[in-house]
Chain A
Amino acid sequence: MNESSTPFKRHLRDFWIAFRRNKLGLLGGFLVLTAIILALFAPLLTPYQPTEVIRDEKGRGLTFAPPSVHGPLGTDDAGRDVWTQLIYGARISLTVGFMAGFIAMFVGSLFGILAGYFGGRVDNLLMRITDVLLVIPDLPLMLVLVATVRQMELNISPLVVLTAVIGLLYWTSTARLIRSQVLTIKERQFVDRARAIGAGHMHIIRKHILPQIMPLIVANTVLVLSIAILIESGLAFLGLGDPTKPSWGTMLNFAFDRSAITNGAWWFYLPPGLAIVWVSLGCVLLGNVLEEMLNPRLTGHHLEDGQSMIAVSGKRSE
């Protein structure tokens, strides 16, 4: 109970102390953080440009060179450096994934909070929209949407289209989760107390509902990020990415198109695949651990007595 520290700092410190003990959480954080660092410092980590063709002494393009010939990850069919493409691709994959994830989270939280808090007709309307989105198969829908937007020749970058489509389709599970949480919080007595004091809806949502579900939102965002990155990779693999700014999915698409697999050029298709696994695994680990730590229902209660009582009665009935 340090007098000088603010409550927020105290929270943060307690959180960090608890988080540090969790090995899986640390691993997840490490995976995500390394990917972000590689993406941020890409120009410092390679002498080449992603589109630059590597040439041998005779000036010919060094195609399909294995890592033993050209380090660290060899070259692709056009003689471009795979390592350079990988770390520059991280920028695209992570940007699209993160942006889409945040959009999904924002829309999902907004829908969930409004539906859960106001209930009745608002709830019905918002949840029916959610249901419709849930039952339409998302992959075909996204293909159609992306293709249509592209057809309209609006001069929007394909990456923006991709981000928007993923973000605006993947908020449904979040909305349901947040809604159910808000429904239980709404019934708690401190919300009644706020109403009895004379507080308005905005005040109650901001001061009483949001702080309770914020941890859930944070944990869920991290989980949605991994989904967004996977979806982006899938769509890019199907050729819906931006060929001039290749992400990991686009790299896989190239590798597949140019028969890297039949050529045995594993260094061309394995690194982007592993990178996708790396980041999404990191997100899932981190998200699960955060959820476990931050979910108010899963953390300890002040009534330790009551808990041990329940444990005891449980033991008895065995």
Chain B
Amino acid sequence: MATFGTLSDRLTATFSALRTKGKLSPADVDGTVREIRKALLDADVALPVVKDFTAAVRERALGDEVNKALNPAQQVVQIVNDELIGILGGQQRRLQFAKNPPTVIMLAGLQGAGKTTLAGKLAQWLKADGHTPLLVACDLQRPNAVQQLQVVAEQAGVAVFAPEPGNGVGDPVRVAKDAVKHAATALHDVVIVDTAGRLGVDAELMKQAGDIRKAIDPDEVLFVIDAMIGQDAVATAKAFQEGVDFTGVVLSKLDGDARGGAALSVASVTGRPIMFASTGEGLGDFEPFYPDRMASRILDLGDILTLIEQA
């Protein structure tokens, strides 16, 4: 987008002015912080997160923290990068497996976020790792969600537990409970529970998600969120944290060109780690989440380290 391509340029310009000076003045820092604020907003980072973030950057940039190896401009970029990666989660977290199988993984999120597709991706990935996953059809709401999961399971070459037809028929809490029992007898070591999409403001459906969680006591609850989401990411993430208390986040549709500011919003507001990135419609399009790549994507800085060298 036109408004974007120029951030690197604008920052570089701001920095070249900074380079010649010895120490950063509040005015220097404010100019840079303003550019960063706009870039974050263009990237859909939620406003409260932008405010906290820019305040932290400003404070550190004006603080005593001195790195002799870097000029002032480089220091600002370094601080921005550190802060971004810090919020996004410095290290990757891996899936938590149960001591006594089956490991139960529940998926939750807004409508159309990519839950059912992710169920297939996780299944295929776990299967390749020697696991015997079972996919569970607990979306009994969306038209033909059960069939969709069945097709996905077939593509992944894994078993599916789908005792109810769906399309409004069947109790998802009961299906989830039965699935875990079934997995124990049928020797599936991982159970992946697909659930219906629901809005943060839908109290009734949010309670249902909470009830599913209570019934199966999952080892992981993954909150799937579309990388294209805007400012609503915060309200939605909070609602899901309250409603089902997820343990990790999956960012989907990262194969597009959305900056994915939601990643920063959700990680910052919920404190939950982003664990995976979904990067396509194919079941193989799935990878661990890399905070450093996401940081430079959000700010559209290409390789942020190059900028540090240029600055």
Q: Do A and B bind each other?
A: no
Taking Cβ atoms with an 8 Å cutoff, the residues of A that contact B are none
